[in-house]
């Protein structure tokens, strides 16, 4: 019997010819990652048991992004613990400040991920890398400590769900609208400990950056991982970024799926996830007019160069509404510099956006955009749970960059066509 994409990668890393859902297997890890919140916890575990050597310092990456630049003494201490340990262990892949950014953006940009890789991270959005044809998933700090020490871990092989998007997508619709549509359909636990495998011409039509948005939010559906075939577009995107060997990976024609869903991309319009669940998905037209106080464009979900291009296209020659603070945070230093080169930063600054150094910041209610009681935010991030970005009585609407930028201009949730009309082409 054939195997799905996830089963193929897990079998390869377990040294097996074949695996099937439900099996418990031990796998070799290609890359293990952690951040300024999770790394110190893992380090504490290693020190507790006297482990003073890692399995391979070249296959570990630490990225300081959640509370960077450090917002207080405690966050500065977290970063110092990570930095000192990285030096002690000889870990060169330590990123803080210059040429850094949000971990799930910089690691693909820097060529750490290749099709067929198995990546484990002490962060739930490690599932992002599935867009490049890798198996990637999040684990706890104790698990990542064990991986740091041994280079392997155990997994239960997940069942695989198949999601097919066919047809041509509408203008202003992107990866965020696709994945929110999926989560709205199956719920926040609809893919619990399952692999989410994406197919279809509408997926292949998406830029890689928007595919990364889709796989990023597997965890918001409860998924173990999300994954897509590594096609020609993936290999082209990676060829100047990595020295790793590149290969196409496809699911077998007779692979078995536990369930299958199909979506007509031509019928999907821009959507938002209303408070307080990523599954509370509604067409923008249903909530248009809702007054807002803040817009956040950034995060590992939608802070890439394609997102900034779309936001700048809508904001060019316009002003952020006086009742709104619009915070734009490029998700990597490389993205910031590219946006600067293209003139996007000038456009956003002239519009009245507040532009920050690369950080997770307001996404997790960390800093640089905390919400007060009663405030409403349109955010391009991945979660809108109660209190996620600040006060428990604040509200967050999740959206793509086009809806976020249009809402910033009008001071209320808005469809992009309310700002730019119907004739303007979407930037890519």
Give the C-alpha separation, 137 to 183, whole Å.
18
Element (H, E) at 225: strand 225-228
pLDDT at 428 over 70: no
Which range is least confidently modeled, 50-64, 79-93, 137-151, 412-426? 412-426
pLDDT at 264 over 70: yes
SS3 135: strand
What average pLDDT score do residues 119-135 get?
A: 98
CA 362 to each of CA 52, 56, 75, 396, 407: distance values in angstroms, whole numbers, following the listed order: 35, 33, 15, 11, 18
**Confidence band, pLDDT 50/70/90 cuts, at residue 345:** very high
What average pLDDT score do residues 112-128 get?
A: 98
Q: Return the CATH architecture of domain 273-420.
A: 2-Layer Sandwich (3.30)
| Segments of the chain assigned to CATH 3.30.499.10 | 5-264, 273-420
SS3 166: strand
**Confidence band, pLDDT 50/70/90 cuts, at residue 424:** low
Core vs surface per residue 74-101: b (16+ CB within 10 A) or e: ebeebbebbbebbeebebebbbbeeebb
**Confidence band, pLDDT 50/70/90 cuts, at residue 421:** confident
Radius of gyration of the chain (CA): 21
Helical residues (DSSP H) of 128-187, grouped into ranges = 141-150, 175-186
Give the C-alpha separation, 349 to 248, whole Å.
41
* pLDDT for 262: 98
CA 179 to each of CA 220, 313, 358: distance values in angstroms, whole numbers, following the listed order: 10, 23, 24
Query: Which of 175, 101, 188 shows the shortest CA–CA distance to 383?
Result: 188
Helix, strand, coil percentages, rounded to 5, for the chain = 35, 20, 45
pLDDT at 335 over 90: yes
Positive/negative CA dihedral, 60, 66, 69, 74: negative
Query: Which of 116, 86, 359 shows the shortest CA–CA distance to 235?
Result: 116
DSSP strand E in 304-423: where? 325-328, 354-355, 376-379, 395-398
What average pLDDT score do residues 335-339 get?
A: 97
CATH of domain 5-264: 3.30.499.10
* pLDDT for 427: 63
Count helices and strands in the chain by DSSP H and E runs: 16, 18
Quick one: what percent of the chain has pLDDT higher than 70?
A: 98
* pLDDT for 143: 97
pLDDT at 189 over 70: yes
Q: Are 4 and 251 in contact (CB under 8 A)?
A: yes
* pLDDT for 98: 84
Q: What's the burial of 52, exposed, middle or buried (CB within 10 Å: 0-12/13-18/19+)?
A: exposed
What average pLDDT score do residues 5-14 get?
A: 98
Neighbours of 236 (CB within 10 A): 11
Q: Could you report the per-residue pLDDT of 395-411, keeping only the tens digit for each?
A: 999 999 999 999 999 99
User: For all residues of the chain together, what is the average pLDDT?
Assistant: 96
**Confidence band, pLDDT 50/70/90 cuts, at residue 354:** very high
pLDDT at 97 over 80: yes
Q: Which residue, chain included where needed, has tokens 């482990």?
A: 51
pLDDT at 1 over 90: no
CA 373 to each of CA 328, 387, 395: distance values in angstroms, whole numbers, following the listed order: 22, 10, 9
What global pTM score does this model have? 0.96
């Amino acid at each position: 019997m054939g195997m799905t994409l996830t089963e193929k990668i897990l079998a390869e890393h377990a040294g097996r010819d074949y695996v099937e859902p439900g099996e418990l297997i031990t796998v070799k890890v290609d890359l293990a990652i952690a951040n300024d919140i999770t790394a110190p916890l893992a380090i504490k575990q290693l020190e507790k048991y006297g482990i003073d050597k890692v399995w391979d310092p070249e296959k570990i990456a630490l990225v300081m992004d959640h509370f960077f630049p450090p917002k207080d003494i405690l966050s500065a201490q977290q970063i110092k613990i990570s930095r000192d340990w990285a030096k002690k262990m000889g870990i060169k892949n330590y990123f803080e400040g210059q040429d850094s950014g949000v971990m799930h953006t910089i690691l693909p940009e820097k060529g750490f991920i290749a099709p067929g890789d198995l990546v484990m991270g002490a962060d739930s959005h490690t599932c992002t890398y599935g867009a490049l044809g890798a198996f990637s998933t999040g684990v706890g700090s104790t698990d990542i400590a064990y991986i740091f020490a041994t280079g392997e871990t155990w997994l239960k092989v997940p069942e695989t769900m198949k999601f097919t998007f066919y047809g041509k997508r509408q203008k202003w619709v992107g990866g965020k609208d696709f994945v929110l549509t999926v989560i709205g359909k199956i719920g926040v636990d609809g893919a619990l400990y399952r692999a989410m495998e994406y197919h279809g011409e509408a997926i292949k039509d998406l830029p890689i950056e928007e595919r990364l948005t889709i796989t990023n939010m597997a965890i918001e559906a409860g998924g173990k991982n999300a994954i897509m075939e590594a096609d020609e577009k993936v290999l082209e995107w990676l060829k100047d970024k990595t020295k790793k060997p590149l290969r196409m990976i496809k699911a077998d024609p007779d692979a078995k799926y536990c369930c299958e869903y199909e979506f007509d991309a031509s019928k999907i319009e821009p959507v938002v996830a209303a408070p307080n669940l990523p599954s509370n998905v509604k067409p923008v037209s249903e909530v248009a007019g809702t007054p807002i106080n803040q817009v956040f464009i950034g995060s590992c979900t939608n802070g890439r160069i394609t997102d900034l291009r779309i936001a700048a296209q809508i904001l060019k020659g316009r002003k952020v509404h006086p009742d709104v603070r619009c915070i734009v945070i490029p998700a990597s230093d490389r993205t910031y510099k590219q946006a600067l080169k293209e003139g996007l930063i000038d456009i956003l600054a002239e519009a009245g956006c507040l532009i920050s150094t690369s950080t997770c910041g307001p996404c997790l209610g960390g800093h640089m955009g905390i919400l007060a009681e009663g405030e409403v935010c349109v955010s391009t991030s991945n979660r809108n749970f109660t209190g996620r970005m600040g006060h428990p009585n604040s509200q967050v609407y999740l959206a793509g960059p086009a809806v976020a930028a249009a809402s910033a201009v009008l001071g209320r949730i808005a469809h992009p066509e309310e700002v730019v009309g119907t004739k303007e082409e979407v930037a890519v």
